[in-house]
Chain A
Amino acid sequence: MDKRAQKVRLSLVFIVFLVFLSAVLVRLFYVQVLNNDKYARLAEAQHLSTFILKPQRGWIYDRNKRVLAMSLKVSSVYAVPRDIPEDDKQRIAVELSRVLGLESEFILTRLSKDKAFVWIKRRISEEEHRELRELKLRGVGFIKENKRHYPNQELAAHIIGFAGVDEQGLEGLELFSQEYLKGVPGRRALLRDAKQRVLPGFEYDFVPPVDGHDLILTIDQTIQHYVERELSLAFSKNNAEGGSIVVMDPFTGEIFALANRPGFDPNRFAEAESSQRRNRAVTDYFEPGSTFKIITASAALNEGRVKLGEIFDCENGAYRVGGHTLHDHRPHGKMTFVEIIEKSSNIGTVKVAQKLGEELLYRYIRRFGFGTRTGIDLPGEVGGFIRPVSQWSRTSITALPMGHEITVTVVQMARAMAAIANGGYLVQPYVVSRVVDKQGELIEDKSPQVRERIIEAETALKMKGILKGVVEKGTGRNAAPKGYTAAGKTGTAQKISPEGGYSHSEFVASFIGFTPVENPRFVIAVVFDNPRPSYYGGTVCAPVFKNIAENILRYAEVPEEEVQIVPALPKEIED
C-alpha cells in the first residue's frame, strides 16, 4: 500500500515537473526559434551602434602644390538635455550664451527639449572650445567635425568658391567638382555596454571611409596675386561697378589667373552679397565694342577679302549707311587696313565687313566660339548672344563688326585673342589640371586636348603684326610693358540704356592682348564695367595690362626683348 502511494506521489511530481519543463521548452522555442529575428534586432539596437565615418574632403592646390582650400577638424557643441538637471538649465544656457555669442533664450529652448542629443553650435572657434572645456558644464559635450578653410582668404575666391556647413560645395570649384572632392563615407559598428560606453575590440562591419580626391589647378598663386593686386587698385581708382581679368596660356588654354571685383572672403561667404560672389568673368556678358574688331579683321584676312596695304576711305568721320550715320571718334581720311585696326576706325571696320559679307562674318563669329559656352570647368557659365543671320536687321552689318548687337564673356574674348596668339587654334580654357588621391596618385588628367584650327597660320601672323602696331603706335600704347613686346586691342563700348538705345554716360572698357609677340606666353584680358570718370579702354585697362604683364613675365623668367621706345600718346586715348 505504502509503496503504491509512494509511486503515485512520485508520478505526480514527475508529471508536474514535466508540465513545467514543457512550458519552459515551448516558451524557449517561441523566443529562440519563432521570434529569433525580433529579439536579435532588439539586442542589436540596444548594444550595437553604427557610426558613420566622415571622409576627409579633398584639398585644392595651385599648380605649384600650394594649398588654396583645405579641411580642418573643429569642435561642435552639443548638449544632452536629459542629463541636465532642470534647475541648472538656466545657468548653463547663460554660460553657453556668453561664450558662443548666441541668445540664451534660444539655448534654453534647446536644453528644454526631451531629447538625448541637441546641437548648440556647429564648428566653433578654438578659443570658444577652450573656454567651454574649462567650464566643465554638465551635459555639454564636443564632437570634432570638418570645416573648410581658405588660407589665402580672398585670393582666387571666385574660382575656388566655398563649401557650406556640411562641406557641401555651394559655389565655384567646390560646387563644380563636388563629386571628386566629397569622398565616400565609411561605417563602423561597435558594441556598447549597459552604460552606453563603446567597447573597443568588439567591432563589426568596419568599412573605412574613402577620402575625397585633391584638385591640382592651373592657377598660379603668385600670378593670381599680381592680377588681384592690380585689379583692386584699378577698380577703386576708376570707381568701376565691376572688373574682371583673365590670364591664360594661348597654346594650352590653362588659366593662370582669373579675378573679379568686387570680391569676397570664402571663409566668411555668408557675409558677402551675391554681387560680390558672382564670377563675372564667366557669368556676365557684355557688348565688347572695338576689341571685337579683331574678329572682323581676322575673318576678312583669312578669306582673302582684304590686303594689309589696301586703302579704305574713312569718310572724315561720318558715314551714312543702313539709314543712319556712323561716326568715328576722330575723323580719318584714307587709311590702310592696318591703320584702321591700329586707330580703331569704326567706319573703316564696317567697310571691311561689307567686303566680307554677312554670311562669312557670322560664320567666323561662330568659329571663334561666340554664342556658345567655352566649356570652362566653372559653374554658371553663359554663352553670350548672337542672332543668326536671318534675324539681322539692315544695320546689323554696321553694328556687329564693331562689337555691338552681340554679347560675350571675358573668357570668350580671351580665348579669341589666344587663337591669334597661338597661330590660329581655338583652345579650351580650363582651371583644373588633374585630380589626384591623397597619396598623390593620378586619378584623372583633366587637361583637354581639344584644339581646332579656325584661321590660317599666315592670317594669325598678320594679325599679330597689326595688333603689335596697336600697342606700339595705336590706341593701346599704355599697354606696352617695359622690356617686352605686346599686342592687343582696346575697346570702349557704350552700354545699353534702360530707356532704350545706347547710353552716352556708361561704358564697358576693355583691353585684350598677349605678350610677348614672337612667342606668346600669356593672354591677358582686362574688362571694367562702367569706370568713371575715364572710360576708354586705352586709358583704364591698358595700363593694368602693362603692370600685370611686367610682373608676370619677370616672375616667369621670360627673357627681355629689345624693344624700340615709342613716345607715349596724350593722356586720354580714344578708340
Chain B
Amino acid sequence: MNLKSVFCCVTFMTFLCIGYVSQQTAIVKLSYELRIRENRFNEIIDHNRVLVYNNSSLKAPRYLAGKLEQNSRQLCLPDMDSVAKVKLVRRLDVQPVKSSFNRLKQNLLDVFIPKAQAALDKDK
C-alpha cells in the first residue's frame, strides 16, 4: 500500500472532522447568542407592556379626576358656541429621490430579507 496516499487520506479525514466539529461549535455558539437576544427581546417586549399599562393607568379617567380633585381643580366641557375649530393641513414631506442603482440594490435585498424582517419593516 502507498504510505503517501494513506497519509493524505488520514490528513484529509482529520481536517474534515475538525471542520465538522468547529461548525457544530459555531452553531451552538450562535444558538446561545440567539437565545440571549431572544430573551433580551422578550424582556423589552415585557417592559413595553408594563409601560403601556402604566400609561393607561395614568390616563385612566378616575385617576385623572382624583388628581384634579387633589389639586382643587375642576374641568368642564365648554359650550359648543365657545369652541372654534381650526382645520389642520398636513404638509407633504419631500422624499429624497433614490438613484436607480439604490433602487435596484433595495429590490435585490428585499428578495433575501426573511419574512419576519419584512413584517417588522411593515410595522415601522
Contacts and interface: CB of A to CB of B under 8 A. Distances in A.
Interface of A: 66-67, 70-73, 144, 149, 151-155, 199-202, 221-222, 224-225, 229, 439, 483, 551, 554-555, 557-560
A512 to B, nearest CB: 24
B62 A557 contact: no
Contacts of A224: 61
A181 to B, nearest CB: 16
Contacts, number: 68
Given A70-B49, A200-B32, A225 B62 contact: yes
Interface size class of B (residues with CB under 8 A): 20 to 34
A201 B78 CA distance: 62
A200 B31 CA distance: 5
Contacts of A559: 80
B65 A66 contact: no
B28 interface: yes
A144 B50 CA distance: 14
Interface string B8-45: 00000000000000000001101110110000000000
B79 interface: yes
Secondary structure type dominating chain B contacts: helix
B103 interface: no
Given A201-B28, A201-B30, A560-B79, A149 B53 contact: yes
Nearest to A560: B80
A146 B46 CA distance: 10
B81 A560 contact: yes
B67 interface: no
A66 B80 contact: no
Given A200-B32, A200-B34, A483-B79, A67 B56 contact: yes
B35 A72 contact: no
A225 B46 CA distance: 29
A152 B28 contact: no
Given A152-B56, A199-B31, A559-B80, 12 more contacts: A66-B59, A67-B56, A70-B49, A71-B49, A72-B49, A149-B53, A151-B56, A151-B57, A439-B123, A483-B79, A560-B79, A560-B80
A199 B49 contact: no
Given A66-B56, A201-B28, A222 B61 contact: yes
A154 B65 CA distance: 14
B53 A555 contact: no
Contacts of A155: 60-62
28 contacts: A66-B56, A66-B59, A67-B52, A67-B53, A67-B56, A70-B49, A70-B52, A70-B53, A71-B49, A151-B53, A152-B60, A152-B61, A152-B62, A153-B62, A155-B61, A200-B31, A200-B32, A200-B34, A201-B28, A201-B30, A201-B31, A202-B31, A222-B61, A224-B61, A483-B79, A558-B80, A559-B80, A560-B81
B77 A554 contact: yes
Q: Which of A152, A201, A222, A229 has the most CB of B within 10 A?
A: A201
Nearest to A225: B61
Given A201-B30, A559-B80, A225 B53 contact: no
A149 B62 CA distance: 16
